[in-house]
C-alpha cells in the first residue's frame, strides 16, 4: 500500500509545503518505507525532495514545510517494486523533468516496462513501478502532445491495480487516474485535491467526489472534468458532503483496523492473483520446490499455521511431501540434517521475524532459501534467492488476517502450478467472490451465536486434514484478541487426553467440510455424548449439521477450499467476541506486529 496526495491552488502559497506535509502525516498508516514531496511554482520551477524514512525523519532532513508553490504532490511508499532507497522513493520526474507524478498500487509488468523504456531511450532512474507510470504517460505525450491521449494510451500498457496523480510543470492543471486502487477528489474553497484516502482530504474539505475504476480527472483550482479512460467520454458527477472525522476515514468507516482488514481479503486475493500472473520468477520458484530433496515451510505463529495448510496443498494437489515447522524449532530439529539439495521457505508478514532470521544466519549456503513476505525490502526478502510478495498492502492491526489469507493462497498457487490437474488453477477465478460470500454469511451467524448464553472462557477448535492449520489459526486469533484460553488441535488427537476436559456446555468448534463427514462425525459425537457443546464451521451438510448444536455455514465449495472459506468465520468470531469483552483487537496486550527478539 502507498499513499498519494495532490493539490492545486489559484495562486502561490508559501504554506504549500506545510499542507503537503500534513496530508502526508495523515496517510502515514499507508506506507513508511520512504516519503517525498514535489512542489511547482508559477515561474515554471519544480522542487522535488524525497528519501527513505518516515515522514518525520525525511522532513527533518529536507524541510518539506519550507516549500512553496501553487500545486504539489506528496507520496508515502510501501515498497512493492524496487527496494526502499532514494531513487525508488516517489514522486518521480519523467526524462526531461517537465512532468512529475506519483502512484499508489502495483504495476505488475514493471520489469517488462522498464526494459522497454530503456530500449526506447528513456532516462529510467530506479526500479519503482511508480516511475513506470510517469514514463508511460510521458511516452504518449511525446508522441501526441496531449495529456488526455497520453493518460488513456498509457493506461493500455500499465498492467495492475493503481491510482496516480501527475502534472506537467508548465501548465495550471493536474491529473489523476483510478485503475483499481483507492482515489478520491476533494473540492475546496479555492482548491481541488486528490488523494488515496479520505484522512488527508477531510481536514481540508468535506465536499468529496468519489471516483470509479476506469476513470481519470483533469482538474484546476476551481473545476474538474471526469472522463472514462477507455472511451474518453465525459462523466458528470457532483460532490457529496461527507460528515466524518479523519480518524474514522482512516479506518474507512470500520470501528477497528482488524475488521477493515478482514473485509479487505477478497480484493487482496484478487491483487495477489493478478501479480502472480505476471511474476517472471514464479516458475523458477516452482521448479526449485519440485526438484528439492526435502522442502521445509517455516514460520512463526500465524505464518506457521499457513505452512501447515500449505503442506496439505502440496501433498493433495502435487503429490509433493513438504514439512511445516515452527521457526523457533527448526534449527534444533532439522539444522544438522540439511544439504544443498534441500529448500527452506521462510514465511513472514514483516520479513524481520527474528526466529526466521536466525535460520537465515545459520543456513545460508547450506540449503536453498526462498521466502514469502509482505514487506518488500525486508531482511528476509533481500537475503532470499527468490521471494514472492504477498500483495496485502499495509496490515495495521497486530493480529494477522489478510496476510494469512494470502500466505495460504500463495502456497495453493504454487501447488497448483506444480500439479498436473488444471481444475486447481481454474478454481482460483472464483475465489475472491467466494471469500466475499463467506464474509457476508458469517457476519450475521457470528452475531447470533454470541447472543446465546455460551461460556467461551475456555474452548477448543478442532480441524481434520486440510482444516488442521485453520483450526490452529482460529484458536490463535481467539487467544490474541479475546485473552481466553483456546487450543487448536487435530480432531482425531482430541480423544487422546484432552477429551477429559469436556463437561456439560463446554464449547468445541469443529472446522470441517462435508467431504470429511465420515471421519468428523465420530469426533463430534465423542464430544456430544459427554454433553459438550459442538459448533461446526462447515459448508451445507445435513449429516454434520444434524450432529452438532450450532452451525456457522460457508458457501459450498471444492474439498480443497475450506481453509479459504472457513477462515472469515473464525476471524470474525474472534473479533466480535473481543469487542464484546471490551478489548481493543487492533492492539492486543503484550503483543507486537513484528517480533525482532529471540
Mean pLDDT, range 44-53, rounded to an integer: 96
Q: Backbone phi, then psi, for 313, in 5-degree steps? A: -60, -50
How far apart are the C-alpha atoms of 57 and 363, rounded to whole Å? 35
**Which of 147-161, 375-389, 457-471 has the weakest average pLDDT?**
375-389
How far apart are the C-alpha atoms of 552 and 549, rounded to whole Å? 11
Edge to edge, the sheet with strand 207-210 lists: 46-52, 34-40, 69-77, 3-13, 191-195, 184-188, 207-210, 240-241
Query: What percent of the chain shows pLDDT beyond 90?
Result: 86
In CATH terms, the superfamily for domain 435-598 is: Glucose-6-phosphate isomerase like protein; domain 1 (3.40.50.10490)
Domain at 254-421: CATH code: 3.40.50.10490
Tell me the domain boundaries of the chain: 3-250, 254-421, 435-598
Mean pLDDT, range 10-34, rounded to an integer: 90
Q: Backbone phi, then psi, for 576, in 5-degree steps? A: -70, -35
Q: Is 370 a residue whose pLDDT tops 60?
A: yes
How far apart are the C-alpha atoms of 571 and 429, rounded to whole Å? 23
Q: Is 492 a residue whose pLDDT tops 90?
A: yes
Whole-prediction pTM: 0.82
| Domain 3-250 part of CATH 3.40.50.300 | no
DSSP letters of 86-142?
Answer: GGGSSSEE-TTSSEEEEEEEEETTHHHHHHHHHHTT-------HHHHHHHHHHHHHH
Mean pLDDT, range 43-68, rounded to an integer: 95
Q: Is 31 a residue whose pLDDT tops 90?
A: no
Q: Is 187 a residue whose pLDDT tops 90?
A: yes
Q: Give the tens place of pLDDT for each residue, 211-225.
A: 988 999 999 999 999
How far apart are the C-alpha atoms of 295 and 298, rounded to whole Å? 10
Mean pLDDT, range 145-160, rounded to an integer: 96
How far apart are the C-alpha atoms of 307 and 407, rounded to whole Å? 8
How far apart are the C-alpha atoms of 196 and 185, rounded to whole Å? 9
Residue 286: alpha-carbon gap to chain centroid: 22
Q: Is 529 a catalytic residue?
A: no
3-state secondary structure at position 553: strand
3-state secondary structure at position 196: coil
* pLDDT at residue 375, as a whole number: 78
Query: What percent of the chain shows pLDDT beyond 70?
Result: 98
Q: Give the tens place of pLDDT for each residue, 101-152.
A: 999 988 999 999 999 999 999 999 999 999 999 999 999 999 999 999 999 9
Q: Is 307 a catalytic residue?
A: no
* pLDDT at residue 598, as a whole number: 61
* pLDDT at residue 103, as a whole number: 95
Strand-pair partners of 364: 367
How far apart are the C-alpha atoms of 31 and 517, rounded to whole Å? 45
Mean pLDDT, range 539-557, rounded to an integer: 97
Alpha helices in 255-336 (DSSP H): 257-263, 265-278, 282-291, 302-318, 327-334
Please tell me if the domain spanning 254-421 has the same topology as the one spanning 435-598: yes
Binned at pLDDT 50, 70 and 90, residue 501 comes out as very high
Binned at pLDDT 50, 70 and 90, residue 81 comes out as confident
* pLDDT at residue 419, as a whole number: 96
Cβ 150 vs Cβ 140: under 8 Å = yes
Look over the chain and give the mean of its residue pLDDT values, rounded to a whole number: 94
Residue of 2, 95, 392, 557 with catalytic role: 2
More confident residue, 413 or 31: 413
Burial classification of residue 464, based on how many CB atoms lie within 10 Å of its CB (0-12 exposed, 13-18 middle, 19 or more buried): buried
Q: Give the tens place of pLDDT for each residue, 243-278.
A: 777 666 678 889 999 999 999 999 999 999 999 999
* pLDDT at residue 57, as a whole number: 94
C-alpha distances in angstroms, 101 versus 7, 116, 164, 168, 329?
Answer: 12, 20, 7, 9, 47
Residue of 206, 479, 550, 593 with catalytic role: 593
DSSP letters of 340-376?
Answer: TT-EEEEEESSS--HHHHHHHHHHBTTBEEEEEESST
**10 Å Cβ neighbour count for 22?**
18
Query: How do strand 160-168 and strand 99-107 relate by DSSP bridges?
Result: antiparallel
Amino acid at each position: 500500500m502507498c499513499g498519494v496526495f495532490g493539490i492545486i491552488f489559484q495562486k502561490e502559497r508559501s504554506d504549500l509545503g506545510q499542507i503537503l506535509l500534513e496530508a502526508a502525516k495523515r496517510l502515514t498508516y499507508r506506507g513508511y518505507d520512504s516519503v517525498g514531496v514535489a512542489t511547482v511554482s508559477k515561474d515554471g520551477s519544480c522542487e522535488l525532495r524525497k528519501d527513505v524514512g518516515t515522514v518525520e525523519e525525511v522532513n527533518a532532513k529536507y524541510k518539506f514545510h519550507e516549500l512553496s508553490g501553487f500545486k504539489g504532490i506528496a507520496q508515502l511508499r510501501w515498497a512493492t517494486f524496487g527496494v526502499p532507497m532514494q531513487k525508488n522513493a516517489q514522486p518521480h520526474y519523467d526524462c526531461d523533468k517537465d512532468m512529475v507524478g506519483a502512484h499508489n498500487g502495483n504495476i505488475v509488468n514493471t520489469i517488462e516496462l522498464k526494459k522497454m523504456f530503456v530500449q526506447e531511450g528513456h532516462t529510467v532512474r530506479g526500479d519503482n513501478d511508480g516511475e513506470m507510470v510517469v514514463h508511460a504517460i510521458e511516452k504518449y505525450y511525446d508522441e501526441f502532445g496531449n495529456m488526455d491521449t497520453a493518460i488513456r494510451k498509457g493506461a493500455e500498457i500499465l498492467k495492475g491495480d493503481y491510482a496516480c496523480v501527475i502534472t506537467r510543470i508548465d501548465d495550471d492543471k493536474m491529473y489523476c487516474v483510478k485503475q483499481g486502487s483507492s482515489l478520491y477528489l476533494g473540492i475546496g474553497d479555492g482548491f481541488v485535491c486528490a488523494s488515496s484516502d479520505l484522512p488527508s482530504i477531510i481536514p481540508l474539505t468535506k465536499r468529496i467526489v468519489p471516483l470509479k475504476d476506469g476513470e481519470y480527472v483533469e482538474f484546476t483550482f476551481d473545476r474538474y472534468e471526469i472522463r472514462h479512460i477507455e472511451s474518453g467520454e465525459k462523466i458528470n458527477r457532483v460532490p457529496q458532503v461527507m460528515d466524518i472525522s479523519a480518524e474514522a476515514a482512516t479506518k474507512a468507516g470500520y470501528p477497528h483496523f482488524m475488521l477493515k482488514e478482514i473485509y479487505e481479503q477478497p480484493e487482496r486475493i484478487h491483487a495477489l492473483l493478478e501479480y502472480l500472473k505476471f511474476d517472471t520468477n514464479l516458475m523458477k520458484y516452482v521448479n526449485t520446490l519440485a526438484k528439492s530433496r526435502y522442502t521445509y515451510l517455516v514460520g512463526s505463529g500465524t505464518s506457521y499455521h499457513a505452512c501447515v495448510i500449505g503442506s496439505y496443498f502440496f501433498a493433495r494437489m502435487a503429490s509433493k511431501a513438504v514439512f511445516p515447522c515452527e521457526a523457533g524449532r527448526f534449527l534444533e530439529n532439522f539444522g544438522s540434517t540439511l544439504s544443498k539439495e534441500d529448500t527452506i521457505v521462510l514465511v513472514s508478514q514483516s520479513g524481520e521475524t527474528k526466529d526466521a532470521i536466525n535460520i537465515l544466519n545459520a543456513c545460508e549456503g547450506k540449503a536453498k532459501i526462498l521466502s514469502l513476505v509482505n514487506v518488500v525490502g525486508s531482511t528476509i526478502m533481500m537475503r532470499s534467492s527468490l521471494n514472492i510478495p504477498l500483495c496485502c498492502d499495509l496490515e495495521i492491526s497486530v493480529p494477522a488476517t489478510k496476510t494469512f489469507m494470502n500466505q495460504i493462497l500463495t502456497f495453493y498457487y504454487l501447488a497448483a502450478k506444480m500439479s498436473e490437474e488444471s481444475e486447481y488453477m481454474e478454481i482460483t477465478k472464483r475465489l475472491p467472490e467466494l471469500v466475499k460470500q463467506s464474509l457476508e454469511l458469517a457476519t450475521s451467524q457470528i452475531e447470533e451465536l454470541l447472543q446465546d448464553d455460551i461460556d467461551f472462557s475456555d474452548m477448543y477448535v478442532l480441524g481434520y486434514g486440510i482444516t488442521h492449520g485453520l483450526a490452529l489459526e482460529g484458536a490463535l486469533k481467539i487467544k490474541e484478541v479475546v485473552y481466553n484460553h483456546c487450543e487448536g488441535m487435530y480432531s482425531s488427537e482430541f480423544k487422546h487426553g484432552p477429551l477429559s476436559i469436556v463437561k456439560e456446555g463446554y464449547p468445541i468448534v469443529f472446522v470441517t467440510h462435508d467431504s470429511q463427514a465420515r471421519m468428523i462425525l465420530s469426533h463430534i459425537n465423542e464430544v456430544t455424548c459427554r454433553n459438550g457443546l459442538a459448533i461446526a464451521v462447515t459448508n451445507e451438510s445435513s449429516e454434520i449439521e444434524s450432529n452438532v448444536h450450532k452451525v456457522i455455514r460457508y458457501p459450498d465449495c471444492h474439498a480443497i477450499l475450506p481453509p479459504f472459506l472457513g477462515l472469515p468465520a473464525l476471524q470474525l468470531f474472534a473479533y466480535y467476541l473481543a469487542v464484546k469483552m471490551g478489548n481493543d483487537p487492533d492492539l492486543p496486550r503484550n503483543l507486537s506486529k513484528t517480533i525482532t527478539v529471540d
